[in-house]
Structure 1
Amino acid sequence: MKPARLAPLLVVALVGCSPSPTVAAQVGDTTITTARVADIVAACPAVGTTQVTDSLALQTLIHAEIFREVADITSIKLDDKELRSILLADENFGPFLTQEPDCTDLLLAQAASTVLGAKGEPAQLDAALAQVQVEVNPRYGTWSTEKLGIEGSGSLSTPVTQG
């Protein structure tokens, strides 16, 4: 086959392997969409003095889903109503969320972490955490399982190093 005929096949193959542009991340069986990330940033542009960026919003949504997966694996109950109550009762978050209720979803991971820490054994939680698979759309960066965070520039291109 001539190289000119291979080019369209290569493009189709590459498009088939890339993540959907509407998917920001996949945590286990849960898909976090780019629309969900945009909604969080629009609803809550800042928490205190911290500007909420797409990357920060995505990272907190990933954490919330990771904690849900860990809770499922360890049979620890995480209830959204309970998590929201924990946030509202917190002296740091409560007053802020009373004024900015649209920011609650951004902080659910914090409450979930509190509940898991109180109800789970560290070794059990670590073992469950190791089972959770996270895949991030390359436009946001890459997922670091060691740091439990997004790393990198989020660029789809690789910078050329000068030699």
Structure 2
Amino acid sequence: MKFARLAMMVPAVAVLGLAACSPAPTTAAQVGGETITEATLSSTVEGCAELGATATRAAMLTPLVIGEAARQLADEERVDLGGLDEVMAGDPQIAPYLANEGCARVGEAQALLGLLYTELGQDVVVDAILGTDVTVNPRYGDWDTTNGVVAGSGSISVPADSQG
């Protein structure tokens, strides 16, 4: 099931961390109308590394993309995010990420998914996130619309549609 894959993706990337072409070279990904910059990705990677993460930049880009798509969905559906901080602080799987501002984005994505699942239902959330227009800088691969992850060779010398 799609929702099971997406639901497990953010924690899976987090566990790993703790145990087409882009419009500009400073862009890691474009999610809907919002840009995830290379600086934001670097801050996340460095922040999570300080907490012991060993995930690649491409792997850390995945929760940033999902988090941004989830934020856009929350805005579109007018979901009240007032309780998000409480959810993050009270969840023992998310709380460790909050120890570092850069890595907190990974925990925020996971908490936001949980909140949206409760408010809108998993199927609605997963379908919306997988249906979001995402363009990933080719150095990281492609956005896999089936599994909701950044995947592929991450090579700028390989055509985007041949990268898994």
Report the TM-score when normalising by structure 2: 0.72
1:105-124 alignment, distance < 5 Å: 105-124=105-124
Partner of 1:5: none
On the 8 A contact 1:141/1:152 being kept in 2, the answer is yes
d(CA) in 1 for partners of 2:137 and 2:94? 30
The aligned counterpart of 1:89 is: 90
Structure 2 distance, partners of 1:69, 1:130, is 12
Q: Report the equivalent of 1:139.
A: 139
Q: Distance in 2 between matches of 1:18 and 1:113?
A: 26
**Structure 1 residue runs of 4 or more that deviate by more than 4 Å after TM superposition:** none
Gaps of 5+ in 1: 1-16
In the alignment, is the contact (CA less than 8 A) between 1:84 and 1:104 conserved in 2?
A: no
Cα pair 2:29 2:135 within 8 Å, conserved: yes
How far, CA to CA, are the matches of 2:144 and 2:97 in structure 1? 29
After TM superposition, the structure 1 = structure 2 runs for residues 1-163 of structure 1, keeping only pairs within 5 Å, are 19-45=23-49, 50-79=53-82, 82-94=83-95, 96-97=96-97, 100-102=99-101, 103-126=103-126, 128-129=128-129, 131-158=131-158
Q: Which residue of 2 aligns with 1:3?
A: none
Q: Is the 8 A contact 1:138 1:155 kept in 2?
A: yes
Bigger mean CA offset, 108-117 vs 68-77: 68-77
Q: Secondary structure at the match of 2:79?
A: coil
1:109-142 CA deviation, whole Å, 9 max, x = no partner? 1000110011113454355335521111111100
Q: Which has the higher contact order (CA 8 A, sep 6+)?
A: 2
Report how many residues are paired.
Answer: 138
More moved, 125-134 vs 27-36: 125-134
Structure 2 CA distance for aligned equivalents of residues 57 and 36 of structure 1: 11
Given that residues 22 and 35 in structure 1 are in contact (C-alpha distance below 8 angstroms), is that contact kept between their aligned partners in structure 2? yes
**What TM-score comes out, normalization by structure 1 length?**
0.73
Q: How much identity, in percent, do the aligned residues show?
A: 35
Measure, in 1, the Cα distance between the counterparts of 2:22 and 2:39: 18
Structure 1 residues 18 and 76: CA distance shift in structure 2, 3 A: closer
**Higher mean Cα deviation, 117-126 or 57-66?**
117-126
Evaluate the alpha carbon distance shift between residue 59 and residue 70 of structure 1 in structure 2; reply closer, same or farther with a 3 A threshold: same
CA distance in 2, matches of 1:18, 1:89: 37
Q: Is the 8 A contact 2:29 2:137 kept in 1?
A: yes
Larger Rg: 1
Unaligned runs of 5+ residues in structure 2 are 1-20, 160-164
